[in-house]
A and B are shown apart, each in its own frame.
Chain A
Amino acid sequence: SQQGEEDPQALSIQEGENATMNCSYKTSINNLQWYRQNSGRGLVHLILIRSNEREKHSGRLRVTLDTSKKSSSLLITASRAADTASYFCASGSRLTFGEGTQLTVNP
């Protein structure tokens, strides 16, 4: 079974808007990572948040982690058309991914 489950499965917004994606996981983690995948291509690491951190920022990205609820969220602010991609959360050393959130940013 998959460790991470992203929600929503698909999200469509206008350029400039913020996008929020959520991830729930099942077992205890040391850290949680978010990756982006453009259509048919490899994954790009976005951000890693450790289990003792509650929030982390990187540019237009903001990640939160709530270990009591076994959940994380990824916020992309001021979205751009180039942000259109699938976003996955993953945990563990042998990364376990969910099905991802397909984000579409319309120009």
Chain B
Amino acid sequence: DTGVSQDPRHKITKRGQNVTFRCDPISEHNRLYWYRQTLGQGPEFLTYFQNEAQLEKSRLLSDRFSAERPKGSFSTLEIQRTEQGDSAMYLCASSPPSGSPADTQYFGPGTRLTVL
């Protein structure tokens, strides 16, 4: 399967702990996105990479959140000092290099975070 993969699929942590999620995009895709989705809501944009450069961050991305894509391939999303409000599904998506700024994004299965 050459789709977007995310690891882990589920994470349960205690409040105050740090967590890190990984996303592996489709291999030829240079654009990578992170979204957060809470129950009953649509996904909300968090941040966007083109190759290794983080080009945009949402206001939702507090100082406790950091994302990296060091070699322009996989990406990590770290949440420090987790809070119960961080409980959500974290989705990663990727899209191919293209002249169009709004191409189809291909989503991974998500990482479901539960903060106790």
Q: Sort chain B's interface into a size bin.
A: 20 to 34
In the complex, whether B43 has a CB less than 8 A from a CB of chain A is yes
Q: Which of B40, B89, B104 has the most CB of A within 10 A?
A: B104
The listed residue (B43, B45, B101, B112) touching A43 by CB distance below 8 A is B43
A59 and B29 alpha carbons, distance in the complex (Å): 26
What residues of A have a CB within 8 angstroms of the CB of B74 in the complex? none
In the complex, whether B110 has a CB less than 8 A from a CB of chain A is yes
In the complex, whether A92 has a CB less than 8 A from a CB of chain B is yes
What residues of B have a CB within 8 angstroms of the CB of A61 in the complex? none
The listed residue (A30, A33, A93, A99) touching B42 by CB distance below 8 A is A99
- B102 and A92 contact, CB distance less than 8 A: yes
In the complex, whether A94 has a CB less than 8 A from a CB of chain B is yes
Question: In the complex, what's the smallest C-beta–C-beta distance from A27 to chain B, in angstroms?
Answer: 13
Binary B-proximity of A69-99 (CB < 8 A = 1, otherwise 0): 0000000000000000000101111111111
- B44 and A43 contact, CB distance less than 8 A: no
The listed residue (B44, B45, B102, B108) touching A42 by CB distance below 8 A is B108
With A42-B91, A95-B93 given, name 14 new contacts (CB 8 A).
Answer: A4-B42, A30-B102, A40-B112, A41-B110, A42-B4, A42-B108, A45-B104, A92-B102, A93-B101, A94-B48, A94-B58, A95-B33, A97-B44, A98-B42
